[in-house]
Amino acid sequence: MSDVQGHFGSAFVAEFDELLRWRRDVRHFRTDPVDDAVVADILRSAELSPSVGNSQPWRWVDVRSAAPRAVVKQTFARCNADALQGYRGERAQKYLSLKLAGLDQAPIHLAVFCEGGTAQGHGLGRQTMPETLAYSVVTAVGSLWLAARARGVGVGWISIMEPDDVCAALDVPDDWLLVAYLCLGYPVEETSTPELEREGWQARTDPRARYLVR
């Protein structure tokens, strides 16, 4: 809680840092349903995200129908097989051992789009960097991820797919750009260590290597 409006105490800061540690990409979901009220609360929190020009360009599509879900699984399977061809030897075997999607188990599929033609925001802040519109959607995805984790709900971001196939399956407007395809549900296992780190795919590196002073 904030001790003064807009200012947060050390206890809250410590809990927020802990939330960041536990915000992991989930690939193994329980099939238990997530209550609609919980999902609505998560989305309301995500709507508090900042956006360039206050454009709020994110568009949420709750994918419930069997037909588009089948298309998503098909494009994932095809792209996943193609990706495997880029690895050899031990790395290829490790890739095969990873579970890279929760498409079968996750009760909620959420496609997140950026409406490129939105008039909201009147173009402020994106004349020279129009990509900030999509970046704004990414901030909303990050906010959703934290809001879900705070409520015990896991999120997995599926990026191994053809965006055009997903857009066609969901019949969205031509100026909508697919930014993220998310699986939501309760995780099978609770852990603060990223799965890719646990499985030996990629360890975390020293943050000092990513900090420059000019």
pLDDT digits (tens, 9 = 90+) for 137-150: 999 999 999 999 99
Domain ranges across the chain: 24-203
What architecture is domain 24-203? 3-Layer(aba) Sandwich (3.40)
Indicate whether 3 pLDDT > 80.
Answer: no
Using one digit for the tens of pLDDT, what is the confidence trace for 16-73?
A: 999 999 999 999 999 999 999 999 999 999 999 999 999 999 999 999 999 999 999 9
- 7 torsion bin: left (phi>0), alpha (psi -120 to 50), beta (else): beta
**DSSP characters over 16-32:** HHHHHHH--B---B--P
